[in-house]
Structure 1
Amino acid sequence: MNKLILPFLFALSLVSCTPKSNFLIERELLQMLDEKDYFRIEIFLEEKRSELSKDIVLYVEAHLQNAFNRTEQSLQTIDALLSHYDKSLNDTLLLNVYQLKYDNLLKRSIYREAVEALEIAMNRYGYVLDSVALANMREAYNTVEPLKELPPQKIYLTDDVTIPVSRNQFSHVIMRVSGNGQSEDFVFDTGAMFSTISESCAVRLGIRILQSAVNVGTSINSKVQSKIGVADKLQIGELLLENVAFLVLPDEMLTFPQVNYAIHGIIGFPIMYQMKEISIQQDEILTVSVRPKKRDLRNLFLDGLSPIVQFEVEGDTVLFKMDTGANTSDFSEKYFSTHKDIILAKGTPRIAKRGGGGGIIGQEVYDLENVRLKIGGQEFTIPTITVLPDKFSFFENYDGNLGQDVLMYFNKFILNFEDMYLAFEN
């Protein structure tokens, strides 16, 4: 499902500015929100709080709470904002408030209320969008609307669970998923904003089809037609899940004859999000912890249904999408634009093939060698990271994609959605 990305408009006529709010500070803060650098926003808000109006403070706090996975708090803040300050916000900001409410509810799989929030965003405030953004919003609505009668997804976890996993030829984490008396191998993919299954596998695992002909975006900027389905019960190792929503794609969209490979299904963000803390070891063991470990670390936030990691590259602070479905890490067009002279001087150009749900394409890239990283207090060097100079929508706002080459550099990585961190252990 595409994440709706709505640019903030900074003209004076479109930004709320009460007499108690410093317009220049407010504009800078909203621009930072547009860039989604929530760690900087958090610090900036605390420094400038006294110079901002209450409505803007609540507006920004609701976004921060959403980004750092405090969805219930974010919903409460949104309720306070709409109850007391709805007349202070212009329609562009109100559009974003309802979109944020939708995102909170979607994460909690409260589908009916999520659909209602998105309807308000489209019907009352959609006129402020351009045609592309409005079409993306309708696409999101068409994907979630069939789920509005579905109870929230539920995962039964009473003790730590250990799940055997394996690796395919692309270093993807593979786990066995069972349903309807059948089992199949699925890819475990933090880069998948929606769990996905092929049509033939959906039949085998007893997936109920709720609606067909939904357009979804892919990792290569194309659109494919999917169906929406639900697994009433699903088993992953000893984990029992109920009411699991899936995008159901034609088999050919998940088949890659060029490399003799087919994907049967993908365990995406909505499932792993409910696991709270996941650790994956080099010896192919995945552990789901019922009591996540507290650490003096927070380097993770959520952009909709995508986990974003903050770390350092050659001393510069960057934001990368975390993608266990990618066997290698990549720098984005944003990073290329910022470091173009260095990349052209030191990088090695080549033509690379890139694929995902939707097919494979070729593009010119640059390889950088011996790249120094610092993540979660761990410093290390990756032999090669590729730079993608072309713009991809799924990279927007971010410096790159964090794949298996980095994630499996150490013996174990821990992904914690409760305290919001990515950590490594030897």
Structure 2
Amino acid sequence: MKKIISLALLCLSLLTARAQVADFLISDMLNKSDWFALEREYPALKDSVQMPFLRVMAEALLAVNFNRDDEAVSAIDTLIAKHQSYIGFDNTMNMVMIKAAVENRRGNSAKAAEILNNFITQVKAQAPQVDLSAAEAQYRHYKTLNAISRKTTLSRPDGDVVVDFTLRKQSRRDNDTSYTGYSIIMPVKINGKGYNALLDTGCPNTMCMKSFAEKIGLKAAGDSIVITGAGTVEAAIGIIDSINIGDLTLHDALTTIIDNNDCTGDNLQQYDIIIGLDFLKLCGEARFMPREGKIIFPATPTQLPGTGRNLLLSESDNLRLEAYVNGERCRFFFDTGNSITAFSKQYYERHKAEIDKTARKVTREGGGIGRNGMLTTLKLPPVTMTTGGSDVELEHVAVVLEDLAPVQIDDGNVGVNLIQDCRMATLNLKDLFLKIED
């Protein structure tokens, strides 16, 4: 959004001092993609904003990231219809792609494909020299999803549903230290047979290996798609008619089918199937009780705590957590498919001098879908992370300097070790908060 922000700064000299402050602050938060700060500050700033496109853009992107899809689509439409001359072509294309992503994440892949196809057709007719490769790739993806034409749904009884789970040990090793991480494993049934499923907030939908797909008779439908995990791979997609998770039933589960060769190391080969974020979104809320080995899926979700939201969902369904480390506000990719926590290059650059004094260089196994191997990392002393009402001490935290996609989102990647020792962790994907209780 650099074009939008530079234009905003040029206009500030024409505004009153009070408006300069409001427009500058909103521009700065938009430029930094700091949605948590924008959500907190915007109510007090919005009446002082003098440039209407800034107000509309702020409201559009807050709605995108905080689970208000109808508002997001409406605001994006207004932004494009009334303010396109201010935001420029590149930002217009970005907003069209975000609108399509919002439609897709709520199950409207046909609408998502239509939005992009109309945009691409219009631009090619008027400016054939324009690079539309990103929009075209996204269009092909949605077109492939739409070919399946079945929306994933959930059925459940009226009351609370309790599902057993286990924290399965993951034996890990640095070059000089052995340690244990944990994964969240639930029993599921497909075609009446029982299997072990990894519950993974970092995976947007159900996923399995090709060998498991063959075992359950799952056939690929449509063209292949490109997915990004630790690496980038091509994958097939299919539909599992139903997956039983306790008394919950996931119907028409969109399933990504990964080639066995792309699943090395400690990922899919240790489980039968992955249950992803789409399941948790349909449930609305999950209360993890690690000491009892239970997950409660309540009929009535918990109210938003007074401390407010500490989660957001990007347009592509990346779940991000706001947390404090040594008093500094940070943002992390919340990924229960990972057992431990790792900090990113971005975090390292802000704290390089301190980290270089206290960290040890170690080699550890890491990766995931599309990439696995040994990583050279900087291992930190125990780190205290504050979020969701609790201080949690995390051990075996590493700084990963290589381009490992899940780690390099914002300040890093937070895994199961954030919640594995608590009495209860409430993950609410309606109002977007994680509450941790000792």
Q: TM-score, normalised by structure 2?
A: 0.84
**Where does residue 180 of structure 1 map in the other structure?**
191
1:184-240 Cα deviation digits (max 9, x unpaired): 222111111332111222233343421243222222xx2222111112322222111
Equivalent residue letter for 2:340: T
**Where does residue 34 of structure 2 map in the other structure?**
37
Q: 1:148 to 1:26 in 2, by over 3 A?
A: farther
**Where does residue 229 of structure 1 map in the other structure?**
238
**Where does residue 205 of structure 2 map in the other structure?**
194
1:269 is aligned to 2:293: no
Q: 1:130 to 1:353 in 2, by over 3 A?
A: farther
Residues matched between the structures, number:
415
Question: 1:101-180 to 2 correspondence within 5 Å?
Answer: 101-120=99-118, 122=120, 137-149=135-147, 150-157=149-156, 158-170=158-170, 171-180=182-191
- 1:163: how far off? 1.3
SS, match of residue 39 in structure 2:
helix
1:404 is aligned to 2:424: no
**Where does residue 343 of structure 1 map in the other structure?**
355
Q: 1:169 to 1:378 in 2, by over 3 A?
A: closer
User: 2:39, 2:353 → 1: CA distance?
Assistant: 32
User: 2:117, 2:9 → 1: CA distance?
Assistant: 23
**Where does residue 4 of structure 1 map in the other structure?**
none
2:261 to 244, 248, 252: 252
Equivalent residue letter for 1:161: V
Q: Mean Cα displacement is larger for which, 264-273 or 39-48? A: 39-48
User: 1:61, 1:323 → 2: CA distance?
Assistant: 27
Q: 1:212 to 1:200 in 2, by over 3 A?
A: farther
Contact 2:22-2:45 within 8 A present in 1 as well: yes
**Where does residue 367 of structure 1 map in the other structure?**
379
Q: 1:186 to 1:144 in 2, by over 3 A?
A: farther
- 1:87: how far off? 5.0
- 1:399: how far off? 0.8
1:362-420 Cα deviation digits (max 9, x unpaired): 22211111312211221232233211123433344511111111121312211101121
**Where does residue 49 of structure 2 map in the other structure?**
51
1:225-272 Cα deviation digits (max 9, x unpaired): 21111123222221112222111111232243x899434321112221
Contact 2:163-2:296 within 8 A present in 1 as well: yes
Unaligned runs of 5+ in 1: 1-6
User: 1:17, 1:394 → 2: CA distance?
Assistant: 37
1:205 is aligned to 2:216: yes
- 1:155: how far off? 0.9
1:329-386 Cα deviation digits (max 9, x unpaired): 1111110011000000011111111121124122221111131221122123223321
Q: 1:204 to 1:280 in 2, by over 3 A?
A: same
Q: 1:288 to 1:311 in 2, by over 3 A?
A: same
User: 2:268, 2:121 → 1: CA distance?
Assistant: 46
1:100-120 Cα deviation digits (max 9, x unpaired): 212221221111111222334
**Where does residue 301 of structure 2 map in the other structure?**
292
User: 2:206, 2:245 → 1: CA distance?
Assistant: 13
User: 1:87, 1:120 → 2: CA distance?
Assistant: 19
- 1:11: how far off? 7.5
Equivalent residue letter for 2:160: D
Q: Mean Cα displacement is larger for which, 101-110 or 18-27? A: 18-27
User: 1:66, 1:199 → 2: CA distance?
Assistant: 34
Q: 1:179 to 1:97 in 2, by over 3 A?
A: same
Equivalent residue letter for 2:235: S
- 1:52: how far off? 3.3
Equivalent residue letter for 1:248: I
User: 2:8, 2:51 → 1: CA distance?
Assistant: 16
- 1:176: how far off? 2.5
User: 2:32, 2:121 → 1: CA distance?
Assistant: 26
Q: 1:88 to 1:129 in 2, by over 3 A?
A: same
Equivalent residue letter for 2:261: E
Q: Mean Cα displacement is larger for which, 39-48 or 372-381? A: 39-48
1:108-154 Cα deviation digits (max 9, x unpaired): 111111122233455556999998xx655544433332222524321
**Where does residue 178 of structure 2 map in the other structure?**
none
User: 1:34, 1:310 → 2: CA distance?
Assistant: 18
**Where does residue 66 of structure 2 map in the other structure?**
68
**Where does residue 281 of structure 1 map in the other structure?**
289
Q: 1:380 to 1:224 in 2, by over 3 A?
A: closer
SS, match of residue 337 in structure 2:
coil
Q: Mean Cα displacement is larger for which, 328-337 or 147-156? A: 147-156
User: 2:334, 2:57 → 1: CA distance?
Assistant: 27
User: 2:235, 2:9 → 1: CA distance?
Assistant: 38
Contact 1:368-1:386 within 8 A present in 2 as well: yes
User: 1:13, 1:34 → 2: CA distance?
Assistant: 12
**Where does residue 318 of structure 2 map in the other structure?**
306
- 1:17: how far off? 6.5
CA radius of gyration, larger in:
2
